[in-house]
Amino acid sequence: MSTQAAFAEHVLFSGGGTMGALMRAYDWAASPLGPVNDWPQSLRTIVSLCLTSRFPTVIFWGPELRMLYNDAYLPMLADKHPASFGRPAREVWPEIWSIVGPMLEGVLTTGEATWSDDLLLPIRHEGVTRAYYFTFSYSPIRDETGKVSGVFCPVTETTERVQRARREQTLRREAEVARDQVTSILESMSDSFVAFDPQWRITAINASAAAAMRQRQNDLLGKVYWDVFPLARETNLAREFHRAMTDHVAVVFESYYPPWERWYEVHVYPAAEGGLSVFFRDITDRKQAEEAQLRLAAIVESSEDAIISKSLDGVVMSWNAAAERLFGYHAEEIIGHSIRRLLPADRSDEEDLILARLRRGERVEHFETVRRTKDGQLVDVSVTISPLRYAHGTIIGASKIARDITARKKIEATLARQAAELQRVNEELQQFAYIVSHDLNEPLRTMRNYVQLLARRSTGNLDGEAVEYMAFVTDAAERMQQMLSDLLAYTRAGQTPEIQSADCETVLASVLNALQARITACGAVITHDPLPTIRGDATRLGQVLQNLIDNALKFCQAKPPRIHITATKDKYHWQFSVRDNGIGIDPQQITRLFQVFQRLHTRSEYTGSGIGLAICKRIVEQHGGRIWVESQPGAGSIFHFTISEGHR
């Protein structure tokens, strides 16, 4: 061998550990593979890759599939090495050749790679055949002509993993059998049973418990108990469960679960591996019997209201101290006697109607009526009467709560009289305002007409100062006339509105038509969202919208006004909003905004009497709503007002 060839072999087999040393010392010229210098480049490359890899790898080369491998592959060969080195695979692996031989031949023939996952191979080592599992692939190695001349095989033994998985599967099957046995026992129990892990997941539950929880067993398994029943967090059941889990102690208690209206007796035992085993039974019938007795006893306890129990035929069975104070009878005077003793002659049929409703299981709430006391006086009372039942639901009588509302009735009567008087005074005030407005307008018109007549006749005869004085008189008369007109409009706004169906789309269209000349003159853009049909006075609602839009057109600075109207609904109201891009309002001045004749600007700046928003406020309040504004100087304004949905 030349020095150059020897150096090439040294480089090729360097870094290969035991197998690298073996390959460097091997007489390749005397082997079927021939001198290394004659090897195809593909073989030299794959051998170098194999030797430096830490993954078990074997190369099958040539028609006889002679084996070359790395150090990581040696444990799989065991006692077959070193005799296996360079030998045909059929001779090395005769015990598995019927399995892997066709696979290798197929790669040589077709050039297609194969993959085997956890393949069982019966391998013989030291005279003993054992089952081993391997995951490996066979990939073709092509020489410079493109012909498949060998097979590259990375391989890993998976025997331990496969056997471990099978052992785990066996253990799972055994656990399932044991669990089935336990489940069978639990399902045969009359008590309900549920088990939790330390994270409160339900790990076991019998049919009785699932039925009590009103769920299917499969739907509950694996679920966190508090996620399925969040309301249970607020019960003593949660506190006792946590105590048993935290302190690792057994607890026994009774618990009421409001959503189901059921009582339970609960036994909780901590599990050795963590978690809880819980046994419970429904004790609602027993608790209801106890509570029925407590309710009947509670009727006669002290109360500010009269509390009475009676049978279904109207016989008084209990009578508390408040009943004595209200009706004047001591308990021994009335118990055992008919409740009809308290009924005035003109209300004798009320008791029959009440008893009929109670027999049907109905509750009588806040029924206002009149009852007679022992000394014959009549008192106004509000009564609430509920049927009393046995635990199984049978109605056995009634509990009655009576409250003296005589003082409230007197106050209501007084308020009604005052409201009627206020209505009369308001009507007279409106009539007075109308008369005053009408009567004052006439002399104002006369004064203005004569001043204008005097001005025409004295043309050229009066000096500048006199002309100015006459202009002042005319202007004052006109402003006084406008104020009287506005005052009359404000008074009329306080009249009862004519409530009917009002299409706000139509109302707005009418308002925009009336303002069309002003809208066109200032180039305003007015838009709106869809508006509803509501209950209201269409004419007065139009006044509100017209005043708000007119103000938006007036207080618009130099830019063209942009106005947008919206309407949204909540539970009780429709809320309308009118947004503009005008001069805005100082927040400190907003409290004055809706007062009569309040102006925020001089007449030389903006025209108007300062009554328009006061009229809006009065109309909105007549419709059960309110009006307010959001604004900042220079940032425009949004006027909001509400109309009551239930306004009649």
Task: Give the range with max mean pLDDT: 8-12, 446-450, 640-644.
Answer: 640-644
What's residue 137's pLDDT?
Answer: 96
Mark whether 454 and 518 lie in a shared domain.
Answer: no
Is the pLDDT at 165 greater than 90? The verdict is yes
Is the pLDDT at 69 greater than 90? The verdict is yes
What's residue 312's pLDDT?
Answer: 81
Mark whether 544 and 637 lie in a shared domain.
Answer: yes
Mark whether 372 and 329 lie in a shared domain.
Answer: yes
Token pair, residue 298, equals: 């509670």
Is the pLDDT at 632 greater than 90? The verdict is no
- Count up the domains in the chain and report the number: 5
DSSP code for 330: -
For 542, counting Cβ atoms within 10 Å of its Cβ (0-12 exposed, 13-18 middle, 19+ buried), the class is buried
Mark whether 264 and 322 lie in a shared domain.
Answer: no
Q: Residue 382 belongs to what domain range?
A: 303-404
Mark whether 307 and 392 lie in a shared domain.
Answer: yes
Range of weakest confidence among 358-367, 385-394, 474-483, 627-636: 474-483
pTM exceeding 0.95:
no
Flag whether 456 is in a domain: yes
Mark whether 7 and 152 lie in a shared domain.
Answer: yes
Q: Per-residue pLDDT tens for 168-203?
A: 998 988 878 877 776 677 777 778 999 999 999 999
Flag whether 506 is in a domain: yes
Q: For residue 521, give the CATH number of its domain.
A: 3.30.565.10
Flag whether 243 is in a domain: yes
Q: Per-residue pLDDT tens for 318-338?
A: 898 998 898 889 889 989 988
Is the pLDDT at 139 greater than 70? The verdict is yes
Q: Per-residue pLDDT tens for 464-499?
A: 666 666 665 665 555 555 455 555 555 555 556 677
At 14, the pLDDT band (50, 70, 90 cuts) reads confident
Mean pLDDT, the chain, whole residue set: 83
What's residue 108's pLDDT?
Answer: 94
What's residue 303's pLDDT?
Answer: 78
Flag whether 170 is in a domain: no
Establish whether the linkage from the previous residue to 82 is cis, with ω within 30° of 0.
yes
What's residue 117's pLDDT?
Answer: 95
What's residue 558's pLDDT?
Answer: 64
Pick the closest to residue 134 from 111, 117, 109 (CA basis). 117
Is the pLDDT at 393 greater than 80? The verdict is no
Task: Give the range with max mean pLDDT: 151-155, 501-505, 641-645.
Answer: 151-155
Mark whether 21 and 144 lie in a shared domain.
Answer: yes
Strand ranges (E), 158-311: 192-196, 202-205, 251-257, 262-270, 276-282, 306-310
Mark whether 553 and 618 lie in a shared domain.
Answer: yes
Is the pLDDT at 439 greater than 60? The verdict is no
What's residue 199's pLDDT?
Answer: 92
How far is residue 20 CA from its own chain's centroid?
A: 70
- Whether 403 and 305 have beta carbons less than 8 Å apart is answered as yes
Mark whether 62 and 84 lie in a shared domain.
Answer: yes
Flag whether 173 is in a domain: no
Q: For residue 472, give the CATH number of its domain.
A: 1.10.287
Mark whether 609 and 507 lie in a shared domain.
Answer: yes
Q: For residue 346, give the CATH number of its domain.
A: 3.30.450.20
Q: How far apart are CA 638 and CA 636, in angstroms?
A: 7
Read off the amino acid at residue 46: I
Mark whether 422 and 373 lie in a shared domain.
Answer: no
Range of weakest confidence among 39-48, 485-494, 495-504, 561-570: 485-494
* Residues contacting residue 553 through CB under 8 Å, at least 6 positions apart: 515, 518, 519, 522, 524, 561, 563
Mark whether 575 and 529 lie in a shared domain.
Answer: yes
